Structure 1
Amino acid sequence: MLAIVLAALVLFATEAAPVDVTAIGIMVSLLLVEPVTEAAASVGLLAESFAVVSPGEGISGFSSVATVTVLAMFVLSAGVERTGIVETLGERVAAFTGDSERRQLGATIGIVGPISGFINNTAAVAILMPMVSDLAKKGGTSPSKLLLPLSYASMFGGTLTLIGTSTNILASDLWVTLGPTGAEQFSMFEFTKLGVIVALVGTAYLFTVGWWLTPERIKAEEDLTSDFELSEYLTEVVVREESPLVGQTVREALASMEEDVDVVQLIRDNRTFGEPLGQKVIRGGDVFVVRTDRESLIDVSEGEGLDLLPEIEVSDAELETTEQNQGLVEVVVAPRSSLIGETLATSRFRERYDATVLALRRGPELMRSRLDEVSLRVGDTLLVQATEDSLGRLNRNRDFIVAQRVERAQYRREKVPIAVGIVIAVVALAALDVMPIVVSALTGALAMVVTGCLKPSEFYDAVQWDVIFLLAGVIPLGIAMEETGTATLIADGVVASAELLPPIGVLGLFYVVTALLTNVVSNNASVVLMIPVAVEAATRIGADPFAFVLAVTFAASTAFMTPVGYQTNLFVYGPGGYRFSDYVRVGGPLQLLLAIVTTVGIWFFWL
């Protein structure tokens, strides 16, 4: 078991494989222990065979209350999203902020915090990020000053209710399975009083110390071409009459070139054309806006009969002036995107979306050449030029998060009262103990489809299947740790190392260890690994195991110190232009502050 736990930690931390694949690998490893040891025992390599989980326990994650509840909550969040109510609320609040940075920060935190308590906080950030980016642009504020607080505030909101994050729901299920006899699921507002305190303290930090520490990585009021430092990579060339490219299509010409050159626009007879350009036949006198580096430009000009137009600076305004009303937007690669590990070439991005990628930002790193060869990662931000139709398709595609607001005609605004009513009913029924949360959530998910808030085909698209398989795969790990005594062994070590600490000190130690672990591996994996140990440790020192489980739950739901610690941190990593060190600088003091606040709060309320 220790070997499997260690392997899981290494794989989760290094992301050598997607986290959901790692989780399923853990589940399979647990299931294989018995047949492998039987085979070893049959040939004399072991004295006897043994098992760490039964087959039923090994696959119990798929039927877990936590897994099914989280699935239903994804559907509920999608139903609310499709009505457009969150964007509408954001727009109305933003109208009062003007160019005041503090009011913009207040609007960002004030919207995402409460919303994250009732719809999945990851979904809340994905929905609100375009609104916050537009808010910063219109108000002349650096988006870097608002996007990190957006991510952090969504985590505060996730601690307000049981359904705020999948972590809370998973912790509730594990408490019933691994806690003392008679342990019950967390109620809807079980820890809301502590969540409110965490949110208030966290908000105060973001308005004071956090605001001072948060850097302006992206300058205010810069256009996107300047933001991505494209002045040396975008230029205009004119095709000579005798050029060998004359008579070829743009696609044929690009395919014949060895240099890294991308055609962004064609200017012909005072008309400007954007994508799709591949089938246009090149004529003498055509002017092309191209993306390339200086060395490649010189080679192409000499070999292909092109003349560089001097003193031309390509700006956002020029790139957006085309026959097809093209625009420039930042597009973020989403966590469950099918493009992860693919390149722009292998995914046929240009052909699928009639869009051109001009640059790529990965945290602070900017890439503006050989883009077709770059393997895409979660959180990569692409600067894309595309038509309104293409932007709409990108906005609807769950592979991406468009970082600027794009009007979505498919919003079902007439369904707003119904969607909001369904969510209120789900929360109320669970909070009043009329029915378990899994039953009310599933009923609400079905109601979203029956009432037309979601189309049947959108039901499956709404679910983040990587999270579902992650939960299903790691839940048996907690069971195995408990049943094999591994949790007891680790808890003994923790308690022995903290002999000089009072119970509140051991409680704080569990918060800190879980928080550090969560900043490196998946938050859900951290909960599964730490809750069995927390229950055992609390039992050993005669403390309330529930308090220790809460410490683990809150710590796993608030990972501020790395971009990989929480999905929302990755969402804002590229659009904010942040460096890894920014998360440590801004999130480190916040993590320490909340470690103290949460530990003292749990001690006051539950011990």
Structure 2
Amino acid sequence: MSDAVLVYGVLGLTLVGFVWGRFRYDLVALMALLGSVLLGLVPGEAAFLGFGHPAVITVAAVLVLSKGFERSGLVDIIAEQALKVGERLLLQLLVLTGTVLLLSAVMNNVGALALMLPVAMRLARAHDTSPSILLMPLAFGSLLGGLMTLIGTPPNIIVASYRGSLTGESFGMFSFSPVGVVVALVGLAFIVLLGWRLTPRRQGQASADELFDTANYLVELRLPEEAKACGWTLSELQRELGETVPVIGVIRDDKRRPGHAFLGALRAGDVLLVEGGPEEIKLLEDKAGLRLGAEPEEEEPAEASDDEAEPRGLAADDDEEKAATRKPSTEGLQLVEAVVRNDSMMVNRTVTQLRLHHQHGLHLVAVARDGARLKTRLREIRFQAGDVLLLQGDESGLAEALGTLGCLPLASRNLTLGQPRLLLMSLAIFALAIAAMLLDLLPAAVALSAAALASLLVGVLPLRDAYQAVDGPVIVLLGAMIPVGQALESSGGAALIAGALLTLGAQWPVVVTLVGLFALSMLLSNVINNAAAALLMAPIAASLANGFDASVDPFLMVVAVSASCAFLTPIGHQSNTLVLGPGGYRFGDYWRLGLPLSLLVLVVAIPMILLVWPL
């Protein structure tokens, strides 16, 4: 069996793994790499050279610099101005989408969206607008903005680096700008003037409570031993509260009893399933002593029975004192809404497996998925990317806990202006890096890595934040797939695919083949990570250029633009997934705006590429 056929088999299984989604894309990429090594397609000594590839280093440096911009206050200044746009919907769309478009040109596009998403939510709530009208345009704007510069999106970095390996000279920082700026501006105009009308309307999600529908959410409240409600019936509980709070059921010994049929007395350890929001939770905590407690699997071992505990003595008193110190304080606790990111450690795991309470100090109150609340028991839910969570935690550690878990807060965020010294320092460092790249003093990977290091040394960004900013799954994906992409080329597999395309397009102008390459790459980016799409399509583009005896530049530019235009599905790009839950979208909603936008990008990009990068 030829190496080309083996490479096709590995890539076919890899694509199936990406689309299936059972395993995260970085694990699928590692399996593809190791499979290629075992089949002799990638030399063992070269298996992990991809992790030192300039494209991987550049992506990591850009992620660190993006975090530095956030911490210095640069983005908050922009976001604060965006909140002043007023009630006009078109102006809101223009400012929000335009801002994220500009930010995405100089920082990671997912990071840019994450920073502007809370701003969009605040605008929607302040003006009683459905977030679904604003969020999809915002996500697509972040993708369009990445087209404008080398560092705007990983496909640009990959394509630039691949060109360097072919010709000895990579694309520069602004080589993508002539095409990318035009495509981005046309896309922005379409979204603001017409495209937003194609987004689905998800009503009743504008206010903080309505977004999460907290008034109708299933909340689990536990009776600790010291709770006032121990010994009360449900009727006595309602009488004490002074108002009716729906108790859906009572769980005791892992058995659920309907609330209307529960006539006995409540006792310590019971779990009440209550439909209520923050006000009802506080009422139950204050007047009945119930609290958002740990799941049974997370709790400490039960205390001894009365018979076993006698005589109590000093040891028992000590245990009681320790238990009191272990008990989490409810002072400073607040409710926050957050969305689960693609790379979150929560994906495919339950609240019990994550030990949210003991390890992160968070209580899970409710979960929404696809714009609707989940009524499954909280301990049984396996989280998915895009889920919106209602969490309660201590204000002092809430941000750190959400960052560790890989969640993006959606609640109204307090904009801070940072420190002027840090702001000026971060801008100066970034400007020096860009100048070094433009003057060919340093390669992009070295210049941007030096800028990231300088940001750490001068205190723009703490070291811990820098490590957290590096998107581990994306780095692993790139490092693992680069050798596999090289195997596609070295085995002759890319040339075979290019030859088939050349045969099909032999009777047509080259531009028709470019359109086919654009469409194929765009479709691929909608089902797998855009960086992986660029890695796979770049060798095919180069082989096509050789077959036509044409310049490789327009073919590579086609791959760069098309791989970043994943507008058709929520799984094609992390930006799309991030707005899935908060916007209440469904899987099939994206193509309504995404399909006409994709066709528009194709129609605008191909002539511009041929104008700037002639055959």
Could you state the TM-score of these two structures normalised by the residue count of structure 1? 0.83
1:424 to 403, 412, 431: 431
Secondary structure of 1:487's aligned partner = helix
Counterpart-to-counterpart distance in 2, 1:364 and 1:499: 49
Cα pair distance change 1:486/1:3, threshold 3 Å: same
Counterpart-to-counterpart distance in 2, 1:390 and 1:376: 22
Q: Does structure 1 residue 21 correspond to structure 2 residue 13?
A: no
Counterpart AA for 1:435: L
Cα pair distance change 1:279/1:437, threshold 3 Å: farther
2:59 to 57, 70, 74: 70
The residue number in structure 1 matching 2:263 is: 302
How many residues of Structure 1 are paired with residues of Structure 2 in the alignment?
543
Cα pair distance change 1:100/1:327, threshold 3 Å: farther
Cα pair distance change 1:278/1:98, threshold 3 Å: farther
2:422 to 415, 420, 424: 415
Secondary structure of 1:140's aligned partner = coil
For residues 439-494 of structure 1, give each alpha carbon's deviation from its aligned partner in whole angstroms, at most 9, with x where no partner exists: 11111111111001112232222211111110000001121111110001111112
The residue number in structure 1 matching 2:73 is: 84
Range 518-527 or range 325-334, more displaced: 325-334
Could you state the TM-score of these two structures normalised by the residue count of structure 2? 0.82
Q: Does structure 1 residue 193 correspond to structure 2 residue 178?
A: yes
Counterpart-to-counterpart distance in 2, 1:576 and 1:447: 38
CA RMSD of aligned residues (A): 2.7
Q: Does structure 1 residue 138 correspond to structure 2 residue 144?
A: no
Give the alignment of 1:346-385 within 5 angstroms.
346-385=353-392
Q: Could you tell me how far 1:584 is from its partner in structure 2?
A: 1.0
Q: Does structure 1 residue 458 correspond to structure 2 residue 465?
A: yes
For residues 340-398 of structure 1, give each alpha carbon's deviation from its aligned partner in whole angstroms, at most 9, with x where no partner exists: 22111221223444443333222244313312111112221112344533544445445
The residue number in structure 1 matching 2:411 is: 404
The question of whether the paired residues in 2 share the 8 Å contact of 1:70 and 1:166 is answered with: yes
Cα pair distance change 1:99/1:220, threshold 3 Å: farther
Counterpart AA for 1:61: G
Counterpart-to-counterpart distance in 2, 1:356 and 1:57: 46
Counterpart-to-counterpart distance in 2, 1:89 and 1:461: 23
Q: Could you tell me how far 1:7 is from its partner in structure 2?
A: 0.9
For residues 288-336 of structure 1, give each alpha carbon's deviation from its aligned partner in whole angstroms, at most 9, with x where no partner exists: 8677469954267334459xxxxx9845555578774654432111222
Unpaired stretches in structure 2, ≥5 consecutive residues? 1-6, 251-255, 268-273, 287-329
Cα pair distance change 1:412/1:377, threshold 3 Å: farther
The residue number in structure 2 matching 1:205 is: 190
Identity %: 32
Cα pair distance change 1:333/1:300, threshold 3 Å: farther
The residue number in structure 2 matching 1:115 is: 103
For residues 259-314 of structure 1, give each alpha carbon's deviation from its aligned partner in whole angstroms, at most 9, with x where no partner exists: xx7118x9xxxxxxxxxx787564446568677469954267334459xxxxx984
Counterpart-to-counterpart distance in 1, 2:520 and 2:502: 13
Counterpart-to-counterpart distance in 1, 2:480 and 2:598: 28
For residues 212-265 of structure 1, give each alpha carbon's deviation from its aligned partner in whole angstroms, at most 9, with x where no partner exists: 1012214354442x444455555xxxxxxxxxxxxxxxxxxxxxxxxxx7118x
The question of whether the paired residues in 2 share the 8 Å contact of 1:219 and 1:227 is answered with: yes
The question of whether the paired residues in 1 share the 8 Å contact of 2:77 and 2:417 is answered with: no
For residues 491-527 of structure 1, give each alpha carbon's deviation from its aligned partner in whole angstroms, at most 9, with x where no partner exists: 1112222233311111011111100010001111111
Q: Does structure 1 residue 494 correspond to structure 2 residue 497?
A: no
Q: Could you tell me how far 1:560 is from its partner in structure 2?
A: 0.5
Q: Could you tell me how far 1:533 is from its partner in structure 2?
A: 0.8
Cα pair distance change 1:296/1:551, threshold 3 Å: farther
Counterpart AA for 2:26: D
2:117 to 119, 126, 129: 129
The question of whether the paired residues in 2 share the 8 Å contact of 1:131 and 1:404 is answered with: no
Secondary structure of 2:389's aligned partner = strand
Counterpart-to-counterpart distance in 2, 1:401 and 1:278: 35
The question of whether the paired residues in 2 share the 8 Å contact of 1:120 and 1:163 is answered with: yes
1:468 to 449, 462, 475: 475
Counterpart-to-counterpart distance in 1, 2:205 and 2:216: 21
Cα pair distance change 1:263/1:290, threshold 3 Å: farther
Secondary structure of 1:152's aligned partner = helix
For residues 76-127 of structure 1, give each alpha carbon's deviation from its aligned partner in whole angstroms, at most 9, with x where no partner exists: 11111222321232112322x1222112111111211111111111111112
The question of whether the paired residues in 1 share the 8 Å contact of 2:73 and 2:417 is answered with: no
Q: Does structure 1 residue 93 correspond to structure 2 residue 116?
A: no
The question of whether the paired residues in 2 share the 8 Å contact of 1:158 and 1:165 is answered with: yes
Unpaired stretches in structure 1, ≥5 consecutive residues? 35-51, 235-260, 267-276, 307-311
Cα pair distance change 1:491/1:423, threshold 3 Å: same
